[in-house]
Structure 1
Amino acid sequence: MPPAHAVTWRNGFKSAFWIANVLELFERFAFYGSKAVLAVYLANTIGLGAQTAGSLAGLYSGLIFSLPIIAGTFVDRYGFRRTLMACFAMFSLGYFLIGLGGMSAGQGLVQALGKTGYITSVLVLTAIGGSLIKPCIVGTVAKTSHPDVKALGYSIYYTLVNFGGAVGPILALQVREGLGIEYVLVMSSLVSLLLLLGTFLFFKEPEVEPIGGNPRTLGQVFRDMLLVFGNFRFISFLVIFSGFWIMFWQIFYSFPFYVTDVLQFPRFELMETIDAWTIILVGVPMTALVKKWRPITAMTLGFALASFSWLIVAGSPTVMAAIVGIALFAFGEATQAPRFYEYVAGLAPKDQVGTFMGFAFLPVAIGSFVGGPLGGWLVQHYLRDTMNPAMMWYIVAAVGFVSTALMLLYNKFFAPREAS
């Protein structure tokens, strides 16, 4: 039994930590529920077609994962509580307007702006709101966790994120089958509205110890961006690594169409959850397994597994092959993820590691910006114009294998010795 003064999960977190994580869990239900159906909804219900739907879905997620660079300045200036309330307010309005576009009540507004113009506008609005949540929740976890249990705090946070990714699409399936696909967005809007109310009633601004200097301004953020983007060695690795996320985003951008059109499995949301459930099951053991590996070894194996997974999907147009393929992709993700940030930290200049690590998540955004249009093109050319679904996955696998080769070449010729 630990001594009375020991810090454990029972006494190592302030109440705001648990409130923030409950808010995050339900926000992830809303986000991944809407994300699961977004590409299909835009293509079929709104009538944009697969190509445009993929591009807009990619733009949406790309903005959500890139704008937090700027959004952090609003947290510094206005605090966690007010920023979080703004996030949920914009999420609620944005989700509702996206869903409205698929209802008869919203057709006048859609026709006035045009389908593409209307959907682009409301997706950008929703993405701006969504970009605010990451710095709020992650910042709250950091501020409300005792140093002795801070690692556990982040583990709890990421576990809830993955759980939301696994359950959100299942909830979306129930709403889609019961009410209609547009009501998945309306339900996400309602959840966000309740989260806004919950934040107002229960979330208290975490106490922040005073620090020297002024909060970061937008000017400082843009100076940091110029500094990071001007470092060719650092930014080129992030671009290479985005190949993994180009593959990942196909689970949401092209895979659902393959599941419904080729596999004739209408409940495509269930197939989208395989990655998240596998990560939940194997994430901890895989982290322990690769803990002592060289970062480049873990990342290379993870890339190779993820790339090979699409060959399994291509090789047999069956539901079982698709399940095995996506599960193997998740194994690859769990293999490379624990060592990625360690490797990237070794690429940054020693006196600017903090600044550079603030941009380490850019591959996720780049992968979405590229993966969305690619996914739409794959569906249009290999499922609609012709019926050659295997070629879709051969191309996705090729993206992965080329990225793996480029990463190995980069590690050999460009990476500093401490990183490799």
Structure 2
Amino acid sequence: MEKTVIKVEHLSKIYKLYQKPSDRLKESLGFTRKKKYQEHKALNDVNIEIKKGETIGIIGTNGSGKSTLLKIITGVLNPTSGNVIIDGRISALLELGAGFNMEYTGIENVYMNGMMIGFSREEVDEKLNDILEFADIGDFVYQPVKTYSSGMFVRLAFAVAINIEPEILIVDEALSVGDVFFQAKCYRKFEEFKKMGRTILFVSHDLSSISRYCDRVILLNKGIKTAEGDPKEMIDIYKKVLVNQYDEEKELMTPVDEKAFAEDSWARKLLNNQRRQEYGTKLAEIIDYGIMDQAGTITNNIMKGEPFTVKMKVIFHELVQDPIFAFSIKDMKGTEITGTNTMVEKKFVNLKEKEQVIEISFEQNMDLQGGEYLLSLGCTGYERENFTVYHRLYDICSITVIADKNSVGFYDMNSKIQIV
């Protein structure tokens, strides 16, 4: 049984928000007994346990408490209440600038950071070449870091964090600053760390990376740990939070009632997910859906390289303006591979009456690699410029792509090869 390396117990962080600086001064000097501030709970009774070797993602909207949590774990901030127990040497890459002295050169900051976490100068000497090679910022390493671009800064900071052999690596969104090649290098390092049994804790808005690298995901919302579990499930819940459609007490993970479909419906002929997720205002409702091969047969099985169609029927209980219809296809880990919607494709619908039923067809070639995928459908729109979900069905059924040839990656570019 793997040991616990990070344990967060009943952690809370409360900030005092003053309307003006003089109110803070009066209170600190004891000139007033009247409460001059409002309390903001950045974190509220958060409990987390992380095992050795896990890669844990933390997701949530801006202001949900993600960065505050990491700062408390790394000792940058003190909690208002609760405890954090750490078993292992931590290396952290928080927001740009944390832990670096802007007046020092890059080299001087490397030594300063190494010694701050317990390395001797001789030990930093041994790691210096690896750090400089990974950072790859040339002679800028001899210049004050205040002269660096944000890209150079994050290169050096990550190079230091990753090469001092931490047992626990903590990264807060910083990788989004680097260029695509540097990000790829960093994620390769993540893979090495995972194979070495190191622990990684990172915050990111890149849901594809969260899905790909994380063993478990923690979702924070308004300072509260809302959910925790499988990356795909947490990402689906997070999308509900983004559109204010998440209700913990009414969370829908409902079995599909196939009897609700008409005898001749498309959905009754498919292999459906018995634990699908659905949500929305239901001003519009998806009442049927199907997948059709090139012969028009309803099926979950599509041959690679052949045309296929995704169809759905939507009934409108209210006259909504410019509804948007969408489908997406994910892999089994929850990464969205492809998809489109009628707004992107510039296809618009004008409703004429309530209870009108619209039938939408998306026709395309199946160029995904052979394997198992999940289909999601949605009907959304804008009400007074506010994005609104009328009805979404996540992972409603599987799509099995049958292939006699797979190339590299998610899809086949159908390359034509000539050898002269």
* TM-score range normalised by the length of the shorter chain: under 0.3
Larger radius of gyration between Structure 1 and Structure 2: 2
Q: Which has the higher contact order (CA 8 A, sep 6+)?
A: 1
The normalised TM-score by structure 2 is 0.24
Q: TM-score, normalised by structure 1?
A: 0.24
Greater helix content: 1
Q: Which has the higher strand share?
A: 2
